[in-house]
Amino acid sequence: MKQSLHEAALAALMCADPAAKCTATACLAADWESGALICLPGGDDPAPVLEPGRPARPELIPPQQLPQRKVGSREGHAALLHAIAHIEFNAINLALDCVHRFRSMPAGFHADWVRVAAEEAYHFGLVKERLEALGHVYGDFPAHDGLWVMACRTAHDLLARMALVPRVLEARGLDATPPIMEKLRTIGDRASVGVLEIILRDEIGHVAIGDRWFRLLCAARGLEPERTYLQLIEDFEAPRPHPPLHREARLAAGFSEAELYALVRK
């Protein structure tokens, strides 16, 4: 008898060890592609997972308490890569949670988020290697839990999840990545710049997946997507992006010119 895709995603989601989580996620994707896992759309959505599997470290603290370090120092360099690794680790959990949590969605939805989870696990491994090259491991620096907090806040409504996680929080990464790459270039870390080029390329696709499902859900509910998006940002007090926006990346991910104007308008 074939195993449930959703239960396999839950098992990977609850892995606390990062290496085990990445392995389980890669196996999930391979098993899905081979047909070893079954997806039965139309089932009831289970209760949300409020605490995913994650290691005891890093210490999670409020964003405003994170120390500011200059990338020109060795510690600041490592802390920057650690922050990126933490985002990628959380992104694995976010994608796995979509597969586990929203079982009533069609198989195409789950196929999309299985792919995203596998790519995020790959990204985490790439950044982890760069961090280790500087003599550090994931967990050495404190981090914040903003991505997962928003996942919990939107667990009751997939439309809000697609709007506020991929199209708000993850889309902010599209804007932030080019300046980070430039900082790394100035200190000669070309290897990490190469890693971020891969991540940026793939993240455009991840935001585009969120955009597509957000718009489909809006259509199913008779909602105008761009007005709904701005209203959800207000309702959830989600952070607006800090200019300059990566216009080309956001347009490729599904944003319109009108949306980009509305996002930065005071």
Paired with 3 in beta bridges are 37
**pLDDT score recorded for residue 41:** 67
Q: Between the CA atoms of 120, 126, 127 and 131, what dihedral angle is there, to the nearest 10 degrees?
A: 150
138 in a domain, yes or no?
yes
Domain annotation covers residue 58: no
Residues 217 and 103 in one domain: no
CA distance 126 to 5: 26
Q: Which helix (H) or strand (E) holds 33?
A: helix 18-34
Please report the DSSP string for 229-264 in residue order. HHHHHHHTTPPPPPSSP-HHHHHHTT--HHHHHHHH
Which CATH number does the domain housing residue 100 bear? 1.20.120
Final residue of a structural domain among 142, 164, 179? 142
pLDDT value at residue 68: 87
Q: Are residues 116 and 223 in the same domain?
A: no
User: pLDDT at position 164, please?
Assistant: 97
Residue positions counted in the chain? 266
pLDDT computed for residue 64 by the predictor:
87
In-domain check, residue 263: yes
Say yes or no: 128 and 161 in one domain: no
**From CA 24, how far away is CA 63, in angstroms rounded?**
29
Which of 142, 160, 182 finishes a domain? Answer: 142
Verify that 158 and 265 share a domain, yes or no. yes
Quick check: is 44 in a domain? no
Query: Which residues of the chain fall below pLDDT 50?
Result: none
Adjacent-strand bridge partners of 60:
143
Name the residue among 114, 112, 84 with its Cα closest to residue 4: 114
| Domain co-membership, 175 together with 205 | yes
**Helix 107-133 × helix 74-101 angle, to 10°:** 160
Whether 170 and 131 map to the same domain: the answer is: no
**Cis-peptide into 67, omega within 30 deg:** no
| Same domain for 157 and 138 | no
Q: 195 and 182 in one domain? A: yes
* 102 and 199, same domain (yes or no): no
Asked if 3 and 113 sit in the same domain, the reply is yes
Burial of 72 (0-12, 13-18, 19+ CB in 10 A): exposed
Q: Report yes or no on 82 lying in a domain.
A: yes
36-71 CB burial, b ≥16 within 10 A, e <16: ebebeeeeeeeeebeebbbeeebeeeeeeeeeebeb
Cα–Cα distance between 94 and 117 in angstroms, integer? 8
In this structure, the answer to whether residues 119 and 153 fall within a common structural domain is no
* pLDDT value at residue 129: 98
Alpha helices in 67-189 (DSSP H): 74-101, 107-133, 146-153, 158-164, 171-186
Cα dihedral sign, 125-130-135-139: negative
In the block, tokens 């196929």 appear at 111
Query: Number of structural domains, the chain?
Result: 2
Q: How far apart, in whole angstroms, are the C-alpha atoms of residue 95 and residue 87?
A: 12
- Whether 84 maps to a domain, the answer reads yes
Residue 153 lies in a domain: yes
Residue 66's closest CA among 8, 144, 137?
A: 144
Domain containing 103 equals: 1-38+65-142
Question: Residue 202: enclosing H or E segment and its boundaries?
Answer: helix 190-221
Last residue of a domain, one of 117, 142, 167: 142
Four-CA torsion 64, 234, 159, 205, nearest 10 degrees:
-60
Same domain, 137 and 25: yes
43 within some domain: no
